[in-house]
Amino acid sequence: MQLPNKLYSYNYSVLSKFPILLKSLQKGDVQVLSLFMSNQDKFESINDFIETLDALYALRKIDYDDEKGVIHFVI
Protein backbone atom coordinates (compact mmCIF):
# COMPACT_ATOMS: atom_id res chain seq x y z
CA MET A 1 0.00 0.00 0.00
CA GLN A 2 1.43 3.33 -1.02
CA LEU A 3 1.12 6.02 1.59
CA PRO A 4 2.40 9.57 1.06
CA ASN A 5 6.06 9.95 1.96
CA LYS A 6 9.26 11.36 0.47
CA LEU A 7 9.03 9.06 -2.54
CA TYR A 8 5.28 9.16 -3.22
CA SER A 9 3.24 12.34 -3.23
CA TYR A 10 -0.33 12.42 -1.98
CA ASN A 11 -1.66 12.22 -5.55
CA TYR A 12 0.00 8.84 -6.10
CA SER A 13 -0.99 7.40 -2.72
CA VAL A 14 -3.96 5.25 -1.77
CA LEU A 15 -5.36 8.09 0.33
CA SER A 16 -6.07 10.20 -2.74
CA LYS A 17 -8.31 7.44 -4.12
CA PHE A 18 -10.63 7.27 -1.09
CA PRO A 19 -13.01 10.04 -2.23
CA ILE A 20 -13.39 8.45 -5.67
CA LEU A 21 -14.78 5.21 -4.29
CA LEU A 22 -16.71 6.77 -1.43
CA LYS A 23 -18.59 9.09 -3.81
CA SER A 24 -19.60 6.09 -5.92
CA LEU A 25 -20.74 4.15 -2.86
CA GLN A 26 -22.80 7.01 -1.43
CA LYS A 27 -25.21 6.53 -4.34
CA GLY A 28 -25.99 3.01 -3.15
CA ASP A 29 -24.71 -0.54 -2.86
CA VAL A 30 -22.51 -1.69 -5.76
CA GLN A 31 -20.97 -4.96 -6.89
CA VAL A 32 -17.16 -4.98 -6.89
CA LEU A 33 -16.84 -5.46 -10.64
CA SER A 34 -19.31 -2.65 -11.38
CA LEU A 35 -17.44 -0.35 -9.01
CA PHE A 36 -14.16 -1.12 -10.73
CA MET A 37 -15.56 -0.73 -14.24
CA SER A 38 -17.08 2.65 -13.45
CA ASN A 39 -13.84 3.96 -11.92
CA GLN A 40 -11.09 2.07 -13.75
CA ASP A 41 -9.88 5.19 -15.58
CA LYS A 42 -8.98 6.73 -12.20
CA PHE A 43 -6.74 3.82 -11.13
CA GLU A 44 -3.41 2.82 -12.64
CA SER A 45 -4.09 -0.88 -12.12
CA ILE A 46 -6.47 -3.28 -10.45
CA ASN A 47 -3.93 -3.63 -7.64
CA ASP A 48 -4.38 0.06 -6.78
CA PHE A 49 -8.14 -0.46 -6.74
CA ILE A 50 -7.89 -3.49 -4.43
CA GLU A 51 -5.46 -1.71 -2.11
CA THR A 52 -7.89 1.19 -1.84
CA LEU A 53 -10.76 -1.17 -1.03
CA ASP A 54 -8.58 -2.93 1.58
CA ALA A 55 -7.69 0.34 3.26
CA LEU A 56 -11.31 1.53 3.32
CA TYR A 57 -12.42 -1.81 4.76
CA ALA A 58 -9.70 -1.70 7.43
CA LEU A 59 -10.85 1.80 8.39
CA ARG A 60 -14.43 0.49 8.53
CA LYS A 61 -15.68 2.94 5.93
CA ILE A 62 -17.05 0.17 3.68
CA ASP A 63 -18.44 -3.29 4.28
CA TYR A 64 -19.05 -6.30 2.06
CA ASP A 65 -22.40 -8.07 2.14
CA ASP A 66 -21.79 -11.76 1.37
CA GLU A 67 -25.43 -12.59 0.76
CA LYS A 68 -26.03 -9.84 -1.81
CA GLY A 69 -22.46 -9.72 -3.14
CA VAL A 70 -22.23 -5.93 -2.85
CA ILE A 71 -20.10 -3.32 -1.13
CA HIS A 72 -21.85 -0.62 0.83
CA PHE A 73 -20.82 2.60 2.50
CA VAL A 74 -20.78 2.51 6.29
CA ILE A 75 -22.01 5.69 7.95
- The answer to whether the CB of 25 falls within 8 A of the CB of 36 is no
**pLDDT value of position 9:** 86
Segments making up each domain of the chain, as ranges: 10-73
**pLDDT value of position 66:** 92
**pLDDT value of position 40:** 93
Between CA 28 and CA 30 the distance in angstroms is 6
pTM, rounded to two decimals: 0.87
User: Which residues in the chain land under pLDDT 70?
Assistant: none
Task: Tell me which residue of 74, 73, 68 sits closest to 21, measured CA to CA.
Answer: 73
**pLDDT value of position 10:** 85
**pLDDT value of position 19:** 94
